[in-house]
Amino acid sequence: MEMNADEFMDYFLDLSVTLTGFSRFHLQGTGQASLYFDTILNIIGKDMFAELLLTFHRLNFEAQNNNDESILTTGIRCEILGSEKLGPLARNVIKLWYIATWYQLPSAWRDVFGTKQNDQTFIPSPQAYPEGLLWPTIGVNPPGAKGLGYGTWSEPPSVSLS
């Protein structure tokens, strides 16, 4: 299947917005969208990536056409996250955005569906770590990166442990 890069990048961002709960603006603002797209493409291949994106696009289109968000919600739960084939891929997309790590797909999954040689656990780039969605989600800066600036140690933390 031939992928139109611009169209599939749009589908990837739409899928990512739905899976992460962050806006397209925020996801693009991380500067990691193209890197993550290419990372996934290189690991699972064009056909499998296209299947994931086209399944999401179809569900999204049906939901919008029928003005019924439950079509998308149920479809993602059943046809993507609940799918033996697409579920692990979608969960890895979530992990990639949140913790900036691609986790090797489960061995049982690889035995059935196969992946390329570079399916291993890794961080795609040093810039990905501080841009992970985990940090804004929990309301802190990533340790060792994106410091708040001089004198911030004199202020109490904005995050409460209670």
DSSP output for 71-122? HHHHHIIIIIIT-TTTHHHHHHHHHHHHHS-BPPPPHHHHHHH---TT-S-B
Average pLDDT over every residue of 104-115: 90
Residue 160 has pLDDT above 70, yes or no: no
Write down the mean pLDDT value for the chain.
Answer: 91
**48 neighbors 8 (Cβ within 8 angstroms):** no
Rounded CA-CA distance 89/3 in Å is: 18
Whether the per-residue pLDDT at 38 is higher than 60: the answer is: yes
Short-list 5, 4, 7, 16, CA closest to 76: 16
Q: Is the pLDDT of residue 54 over 60?
A: yes
| pLDDT computed for residue 3 by the predictor | 59
* pLDDT over 90, % of the chain: 75
Picking from 150, 156, 136, 83, the residue whose alpha carbon sits closest to that of residue 113 is 83
